[in-house]
Structure 1
Amino acid sequence: MWRSFAPSSARGTPSGPFGALVTSWTGEPLAYAENVTRVSYRSPGRTLLPQGLVLGGVAAGALLVAFRDPNEAGHYPSCPFLAITGYYCPGCGMMRLVHALTHGDVGTAFGFNPLVFLLLPVLGYLFVRWTVSSARGLPMRSAILRPAVAYSFVGVVAVFWVVRNLPFAEALAP
């Protein structure tokens, strides 16, 4: 059965995405009980464009850091928070972490920023979920995206920020 979409003008009629009236090939409204599948107005190529851009940006950044050593002075600007306050921020050591990972030195990478190192698998999982959800045309639903989890994450980052600057936690400093 062919289906077409026309603007819905009457309240209480079966409607599809964005309020479009779902009709059969004869122009009559379909009954609510019939299977009406989701219609995507985006082509498959455009559906995964954001993921491709993110993946390309991450790969380009990793390649840049792999070939330009952040341990050598003058290649990258220093952390402004560290320069102003003398304390490490939660992101200090991330470029050196990426440099060590791209060269296969996992132990050294962990030492530069343990929090980011432990979050990399979570970020990878979220990226895969986002890609699969987008490819299927579904919204991304995950327990990780709940407000309580987000607030907990902010709390963990804040605690890491404070603890890595304490004298007894020098192992957390980059």
Structure 2
Amino acid sequence: MDHAPNAPHPPAVPPPTTPPYEPGGSYGPYASAGSYGPRAPYEVPQSASRVRRLLTPLATLAGIAAAFTYVGLVDPNESGHYPPCPLYSLTGLYCPGCGGLRGAHALAHGDPLTALGDNALAFAGYAVFAVVWVIWVVRAGKGLPLRITQRPLWWWTLGTVLVVFSVLRNLPFGAWLAP
């Protein structure tokens, strides 16, 4: 059907009354009535069972416990069980991780002072992990995600601490930091 050049055009389609579909939005079995917009991809649905929500932190703890058990049973102070540190083997300098296995072995045997002396930075890392893990379990039990976002300044600070620790433990006045 042709329109005359001066004939009115057909009426425009009225605008939709509902919000448009958004990829990744709150649609499907977990959407509540009237909720539109994106849902965070790491959000745990409230309908998930508590055991299911705690599965990841508990599996992480099981892996860490298995690693500590192995290091506790196989003494890193005896040569031949673990590969040597490549930096120490080539240069004679301690890297930030040197002494970490010996510290984990001491900690697995209930000797935190020796662990602290073997690698103070690794010892602090174990403590930080323990605190974050407890927070993770509590939040997972409540159905809340663990959100750890760090600004670039935090990562630069961590890198600086690792470099300063490495330099200090290789200098004569920082020998108390060496394993």
Alignment of 1:28-67 (within 5 A): 30=34, 39-40=45-46, 42-67=48-73
TM-aligned CA deviation for residue 43 of structure 1: 4.3
Alignment of 1:10-21 (within 5 A): 11-12=18-19, 18-20=25-27
For residues 53 and 170 of structure 1, the distance between their equivalents in structure 2, rounded to whole angstroms, comes to: 38
1:135 to 141, 154, 162: 141
> In structure 1, what is the equivalent of residue 3 of structure 2?
none
Alignment of 1:16-165 (within 5 A): 18-20=25-27, 22=31, 30=34, 39-40=45-46, 42-141=48-147, 145-165=150-170
- More helix, by proportion: 1
C-alpha contact 2:26 2:35 (8 A) present in aligned 1: no
Q: Percent identity?
A: 41
For residues 129 and 171 of structure 1, the distance between their equivalents in structure 2, rounded to whole angstroms, comes to: 33
For residues 171 and 94 of structure 2, the distance between their equivalents in structure 1, rounded to whole angstroms, comes to: 10
TM-aligned CA deviation for residue 10 of structure 1: 6.7
TM-aligned CA deviation for residue 11 of structure 1: 4.1
Change (3 A) 1:171 1:31: closer
TM-score scaled by length of structure 1: 0.73
Q: What SS does the aligned partner of 1:88 have? A: coil
Q: What SS does the aligned partner of 1:77 have? A: coil
TM-aligned CA deviation for residue 41 of structure 1: 6.3
Q: What SS does the aligned partner of 2:80 have? A: coil
C-alpha contact 2:45 2:143 (8 A) present in aligned 1: no
TM-aligned CA deviation for residue 48 of structure 1: 2.5
TM-score scaled by length of structure 2: 0.71
TM-aligned CA deviation for residue 76 of structure 1: 1.2
Change (3 A) 1:171 1:121: same
Change (3 A) 1:10 1:53: farther
Higher relative contact order structure (alpha carbons within 8 Å, sequence separation ≥ 6): 2
TM-aligned CA deviation for residue 173 of structure 1: 0.8
Count residues in correspondence.
154
TM-aligned CA deviation for residue 42 of structure 1: 4.5
- More strand, by proportion: 1
